[in-house]
Chains A and B, each alone.
Chain A
Amino acid sequence: MRRCPKSVWLVALFLAFFMFGLVNISWPAMQARTDLVCSTTWLVVEYWTNGVYTGSSSTPYSECSFVNSYYSDGGGGQGTTEDPPQGGSGGGGGTTTINNYDTNGNGIVDCYQTAIFHTTSLFITSQCNSARPKSSTGTHDALDLWIAGIDGKPAYSVCTGTVEKVAVETDSNTGAIKEGGWGYYVEIKDADGNIWRYAHLKGTSQDKSGVGLKAGDSVSAGTSKVGLCDTSGTQVAHLHLEYWKDGVKTCPTDKLSNCGANKA
Chain B
Amino acid sequence: MKKILSLAVLLMGLVVIDSLAQVETILEHNIPPGWRYKSFAVSRSDIKALYFLPVLPDEVLLTEDHPGRLQVFNEKNNLIADLIIEDNYRLSKISRNDRIILCDGEESGCYHIKVLDPSGKEMYTTKAEGRWPVTAPYGKDIALVPGQEDVGPVSIIDEDTGREKARISPPTGKDKTFRIAAFFPLGEDGLYVQGVGATLCLKSYLHINEVYWKIQDIGGNIKSGVFLNDEYLAIRYGTDDFRDHKFMAGVAIVEWRTGNILFKKKGFQTNGVQDRWFSQLESLSVLVNNDSLYFYGNPNDVLRLPRRSDGRNGWDENRSVKSKFSPGQIGEITLGGKLIKPEIHAGKYVITDFGDAVRIEKSKFVDVR
- Do A32 and B243 have beta carbons less than 8 Å apart? yes
Measured between alpha carbons, how far is A62 from B171 in the docked complex, in Å? 10
B108 pairs with A175, CB closer than 8 A: no
Question: B208 touching A45 by the CB < 8 A rule?
Answer: yes
The verdict on B313 contacting chain A, using a C-beta distance below 8 Å, is no
Whether, in the assembled complex, B319 has its beta carbon less than 8 Å from a beta carbon of chain A, the answer is no
Closest 6 CB pairs of A and B: A65-B197, A205-B297, A41-B171, A70-B243, A176-B346, A133-B88
Assess the B59–A176 pair: CB atoms within 8 A. no
Bound CA span A58–B64, Å: 46
Closest-CB distance, B36 to chain A (whole angstroms): 10
Report if B90 contacts A (CB, 8 A): yes
Nearest-neighbor residue (CB-CB) of A86 within chain B: B245
Q: In the complex, are the beta carbons of A142 and B107 less than 8 A apart?
A: yes
Q: B173 in the interface, Cβ–Cβ < 8 Å?
A: yes
Q: Find out whether the CB atom of B176 lies under 8 angstroms from the CB atom of A64.
A: no
B268-302, CB under 8 A of A: which get 1 and which 0?
01011010000110111111000000001110000
Q: List 18 A-B contacts (CB under 8 A).
A: A32-B241, A39-B178, A61-B211, A63-B197, A65-B173, A70-B244, A88-B245, A132-B106, A133-B104, A135-B88, A136-B104, A172-B226, A174-B41, A181-B107, A181-B148, A182-B107, A199-B107, A205-B285
Please give the residue numbers on chain A whose beta carbons come within 8 Å of chain B beta carbons, in ascending order: 31-32, 34, 36, 38-39, 41-51, 57-59, 61-75, 77-78, 80, 83, 85, 87-89, 123, 125-126, 132-136, 138, 141-142, 144, 146, 150, 162, 167-176, 178-182, 199, 205-208, 214-217, 233-238, 240, 242, 247, 264
- Main secondary structure on chain A at its contact with chain B? loop
Q: Is the CB of A215 within 8 A of B247?
A: yes
Option from B182, B244, B271 in Cβ contact (under 8 Å) with A172: B182
**Does chain A have a CB within 8 A of B145?**
yes
> Measured between alpha carbons, how far is A21 from B231 in the docked complex, in Å?
53
Bound Cα distance from A66 to B217, whole angstroms: 9
Q: Are A65 and B178 CB-contacts (below 8 A) given A173-B93, A216-B272, A236-B61?
A: yes
Instruction: Provide the residues of chain A in CB contact with B298, threshold 8 Å.
Output: 205-206
Are A69 and B243 in contact, with the CB atoms below 8 A? yes
B188 at the interface (CB under 8 A from A): no
Contact of A240 among B107, B130, B167, B234 (CB under 8 A): B107
**Interface bracket on B:** 35 or more
Q: Mark B241-267, 1 if CB is under 8 A from A, else 0.
A: 111111100000000000000000000
Separation in Å of the B22 CB from the closest CB of chain A?
Answer: 24
Q: Is residue B345 contacting chain A, with contact meaning CB distance below 8 A?
A: yes
| Of A80, A236, A242, the contact of B243 (CB 8 Å cutoff) | A80
Instruction: Please state if A169 and B239 are interface contacts (CB–CB under 8 Å).
Output: no
Is B172 in contact with A138, judged by CB distance below 8 angstroms?
Answer: no
| Selected contact of B135 from candidates A85, A173, A207, A240, CB within 8 Å | A173
Q: In the bound complex, how far is the Cα of B165 from the Cα of A29, in angstroms?
A: 48
0 or 1 for each of B154-175: is its CB under 8 Å from A? (1 = yes): 0000000001111111011111
Cα distance, A85 to B134, chains bound together (Å) = 38
Bound-complex Cα distance A123 to B62 (A)? 11
A57 CB contact (under 8 Å) in B58, B65, B208:
B208
Contacts of B346 in A (CB 8 A): 171, 174-176
Contact status B171-A59, CB under 8 Å: no
| Residues of chain B with a CB closer than 8 A to A132's CB | 105-106, 108, 111
Inter-chain contacts of B164 with A (CB < 8 A): 48, 51
Given contacts A214-B272, A238-B62, 9 further A-B contacts (CB under 8 A): A57-B208, A59-B209, A172-B134, A180-B105, A180-B110, A182-B107, A214-B269, A234-B107, A235-B38
With A80-B243, A85-B242 known as contacts, the answer to whether A169 contacts B148 (CB < 8 A) is yes
A65 and B177 form a contact (CB under 8 A): yes
In the complex, which residue of chain A has the Cβ closest to the Cβ of B218? Answer: A64
Q: Shortest distance in angstroms between A22's beta carbon and chain B's nearest beta carbon?
A: 20
Could you mark each residue 210-248 of chain B with 1 if its beta carbon is under 8 Å from any beta carbon of chain A, else 0? 010000110011001111100000100001111111110
Within 8 Å by CB of A32, from B103, B107, B244, lies: B244
Asked whether A179 lies within 8 Å of B39 as measured between CB atoms, the reply is yes
Q: Which residues from A are CB-within-8-Å of B205?
A: 45
Contact B243 A171 (CB under 8 A): no
- The answer to whether residues A135 and B65 also contact, given A57-B208, A71-B240, A146-B59 and a CB cut-off of 8 A, is yes
In chain B, what residue has the closest Cβ to A138?
Answer: B111
* Cβ–Cβ contact B224 & A87, under 8 A: no
Judging by beta carbons under 8 Å apart, are A74 and B111 in contact?
Answer: no
Q: Kindly state whether residue B320 has any CB partner on chain A within 8 Å.
A: no
- When the two chains form the complex, which single residue of A72, A141, A170, A205 contacts B240, counting CB atoms closer than 8 Å? A72
